[in-house]
Chains A and B, each alone.
Chain A
């Protein structure tokens, strides 16, 4: 074994330099050229950071589009899913409560219209998106809360639909809500 320990230790040191110092340094340099300079892309309103582009936010007020339920309440200091199994009775009860609460806040919406993602927690707890169908359901509520015509909000929503050639079509909740605030 001794014959191998010395070259093994030396080679480990070389690889530490190569894979950690040089590689991470290079990537950090490359990252400087990217949008946000490698610190994460922020969204600004009136020169103030109101969030990170990729990170979803908690919206509970009636005048905003709501995102998905989150196991970490959208605090990105951590990240986690609920890890609830599909047959867990406690979990099914929670989903039922979310459905009931959604129906109360959206008179006129039938439960057959509620997309599953609006009552199920995301994997990271930070999912920034909802589906187009989930956004459309909320237009009437937001129009009422903001005392504007639903048509205006609908137009804004249509502009914020991210159509993807592959993968699901998406609505970015935070960006849409920032645009909502500038509407009035």
Chain B
């Protein structure tokens, strides 16, 4: 077990080691200083030219949003059309069918919004054409959308009054050419040399040593798995995601995939500090996020390495921890670590099945998605955190009886209203969705859908409730993991989570950008001795308290009905 803990510590240490210099480099590039990526400039210039984009044109926050929403609309239509017709198109060696319209609606949105909820299995639900040209494509561009959005926030928080917040097309293009493509190439190479397939050959069939005839699904998975993690997407090539031995062949690849999914979110936190010349500000944010991460991680590690108490009664040896749904090559400690990393970052890939996690772990995974701001997804994590920041500034301003100021700008009623609306949106979507599905489960068990409500749940009692709660939480947090026992490929889940995904992606981008745009237009007030400094650890505690009150308490009753009830039935 000690070796397993060592593996976890090493993985986290290496993540920071990669993320810190990356953050500094991103800040240099945004400031327009010399950066390691300057050699990419000719390619970028070529792209701008061929698309008729003037990279020097500055946009206001509203223009940024219009560009962002326009290009997202194009991607949605494109993805939907390919998914419903994939069965009759080329590049389909396994002969998989087209998706039903409601499944295609869900899948297209899910990948568009960087969530990657999958109501299908990769082996049978997609073709190589859609895996590469829809799924992987959206994994690149949705991550780049998030990064581009947070760069607007960066520009807005500078200490000058302006509505000139950079160019969306430039931010978007550079996110891909400078971060996502080159690093993905490195990760994919590492995966390929550890046994993940890269070729376009279809299923293979062979006779096993014992004489069974079996098949093995393959395909160019390595390239996709790289961007799946780097872009905090999470949707896997194979149905079993990163538990699959071809998707995640060994402990080394497991470390690579774990590191890949945290580097951009952490790098962006530090990039903000370098960019604004307020490194302490970043340190405080990072400290708050890390504290939240540890609060979720430690109970999960204890629960998973301790084994399943219900199996303890059978008298078997559980020194390796709770092994249902886990892969031996990763072990319980690492699987626990992954399950928290993937839920606080909005990745949603799994290297163990969360449906078989211990109740404490389920509660922590849910809380990770409910707060949705500890490191968080590519770009959007920091945008979510920004909302908490605004609320914390406002509340502490009221407490000390001063006008609330954030980085030299007054926070007033308008900004506060937006922040409050975005903050309550998340609990509203999750709780209303879960209430609706529970209601249907109880009152309309025999509805004639592809999967009848009566057979939605794979587990009875509180755990069954957790399956529904988890699905909406994952959708609203744009996470994508699931308690996969849930029978979710039917019109109810496809449409309802699809709508939740749309709302919970775009409003939490629009809200923070609107606040940022409003703040950027305000007079800059130099900080004095009387200013409540937002880059102090005292303020950090304030932010943490706000997160705790807004997220944890709003969800407490729902958590009680699910994981907590299950916990008390077990121990």
Spell out A's residues near B (CB within 8 Å): 1, 3-12, 14-16, 18-20, 23-24, 26-28, 30-32, 34-42, 45, 49-61, 64, 68, 74-89, 91-92, 95-96, 99, 111-117, 119-131, 133, 164-168, 170, 174, 177-178, 181
Contacts and interface: CB of A to CB of B under 8 A. Distances in A.
Given A112-B316, A177-B209, A7 B192 contact: no
Given A120-B325, A129-B328, 16 more contacts: A1-B69, A7-B52, A8-B71, A11-B173, A12-B75, A14-B50, A54-B249, A56-B245, A68-B328, A79-B239, A85-B356, A86-B310, A86-B357, A95-B311, A123-B325, A168-B4
Given A57-B208, A57-B209, A115-B320, A167 B192 contact: no
Given A11-B172, A76-B217, A116-B316, A4 B67 contact: yes
Contact of A122 (B70, B209, B328, B355): B328
Interface stretch (B218-226, B269-277, B372-380): B218-226
B445 interface: no
Interface string B207-234: 1111010111110101100110000000
Interface in B232-267: 238-240, 243-246, 249, 251, 254
B404 interface: no
B51 interface: yes
Contacts of A4: 66-67, 70-71
Interface string B174-218: 001100110011001100110101111101101111101011111
Contacts of A96: 314
B133 interface: yes
A124 B327 contact: yes
A87 B216 contact: no
A24 B197 contact: no
Interface residues of B, number: 121
Contact of A20 (B75, B136, B197): B136
A120 B353 CA distance: 12
A54 B214 CA distance: 14
B65 to A, nearest CB: 10
B78 interface: yes
Interface of B: 3-4, 6-7, 10, 47, 50-53, 66-67, 69-71, 74-75, 78, 121, 123-124, 132-133, 136-137, 140-141, 169, 172-173, 176-177, 180-181, 184-185, 188-189, 192-193, 195, 197-201, 203-204, 206-210, 212, 214-218, 220, 222-223, 226-227, 238-240, 243-246, 249, 251, 254, 307-311, 314-331, 334, 350-353, 355-359, 458-464, 466, 483-485, 566, 569-570
Interface centre among A20, A23, A56, A58 (most CB of B within 10 A): A23
Contacts of B245: 54-56, 124, 126-128
A83 B467 CA distance: 10
Contact of B311 (A28, A35, A116, A129): A116
A15 B52 contact: no
Contacts of A122: 243, 323, 325-328
Contacts of B307: 116
A75 B133 CA distance: 27
Interface centre among B320, B328, B359 (most CB of A within 10 A): B328
Nearest to B78: A12
Contacts of A117: 320, 323, 326, 328
A108 to B, nearest CB: 16
B240 A77 contact: no
B351 A14 contact: no
B70 A52 contact: no
Contact of A7 (B7, B53, B124): B53
Nearest to B75: A12
26 contacts: A1-B66, A8-B67, A10-B51, A11-B53, A11-B172, A24-B132, A27-B222, A38-B192, A40-B218, A54-B246, A55-B216, A57-B210, A58-B210, A64-B209, A75-B214, A79-B121, A80-B240, A81-B243, A83-B485, A86-B311, A87-B569, A88-B459, A96-B314, A112-B315, A122-B323, A128-B245
